[in-house]
Amino acid sequence: MFTTSSLWIIFTLFGSVGQTIRNAAQRSLIASIGTIGATQVRFLFGLPFSIVFLGCVYAICGEAFPHIGMLAFIWTFGGALAQILATALMLAAMRDKSFVVTTALIKTEAVQVAIFSLVVLHEQIKPLTLLAILFSTLGVFILSWPKTLERPAPRAIVLGLVAGGFFGLSAIGFREGIRAIHDASFMLAASTTLVLALFLQCLVLGIYMAARDRGSFGVILSHWRGSMLAGFVGAMASEFWFLAFSLASAASVRTLALIEMLFALGISKLYFRQPTSRREILGMVLVGVGVMMIVQG
């Protein structure tokens, strides 16, 4: 039986499944509306659904609407900006034809989150949690790294690592933004922070697009059907992420989230009927061990 303190496990698992589906939906839009447009879709079409989710939570909780103080705003804005920068760096690295390498390096996010949490927030990392992070990250590297011995471009390596760092900072920013809202339940604080984050991201990217690529607005609207699906699934996944952040450390949530690699690999194997190599089995075992450790911890 799950207690309130362990609900973050369920929230993270649902968030991981939702993110896998969202990535597939978002990837299919890149060819039509470009990388910046596909990124904006995640925020622009996700915002209305996040407002609906907030309304549902508000009705269920029956609480007064929480006050968003300056500290909560600063942390949330920092997380929103870091996520935009991380996405831009990730796409820049993938343009160097280093998709697989970039994916592997971005997954160092869990390690970087633990380091940032220790240095910036002075959070103590339990030994079992640290082992879980190391096992899971190593497993992801084994699963993601190219099978050939081609040397990846140095630029892609740097961009991938920095992108992972910014994704880690965004997780910390969102968690601290939620924690800075003191006069609300964890559900209402998480849902409120999500709406604020998506609004800020829409605003920042909207200003950028208005200055650099105004034509993208029309292209995005012309593909509203596919964008609605990506927006809904993205908002749903983010809702679960934020609920998890409200109950557990960013390091724990992002480590358990590495199970997303197993979901994606499983879907790929079932769809393409590809055999599983020994290396993939080793990687899956390491990720599985890490996930069990983080849950046990």
| pLDDT tens-digit readout, 70-112 | 999 999 999 999 998 887 787 667 665 555 566 667 777 888 8
* Tokens standing for residue 232: 């809904």
**What are the helix (H) ranges across 62-153?**
70-94, 99-106, 109-120, 127-144
Cβ atoms of 157 and 33 within 8 Å: the answer is no
pLDDT of residue 105: 74
With CA atoms as reference, report the closest residue to 280 among 146, 143, 145.
143
pTM of the shown model: 0.84
Residues 185-206 pLDDT 10s: 999 999 999 999 999 999 998 8
pLDDT of residue 18: 82
Q: Which residues of the chain have pLDDT under 50?
A: 1, 149
pLDDT of residue 190: 95
Cβ atoms of 254 and 22 within 8 Å: the answer is no
pLDDT of residue 147: 65
Residue 267 CB neighbours (<10 A): 13
Q: How far is CA 157 from CA 103, 143, 190, 245, in A?
A: 10, 17, 33, 28
Cβ atoms of 175 and 249 within 8 Å: the answer is yes
With CA atoms as reference, report the closest residue to 160 among 104, 207, 117.
104
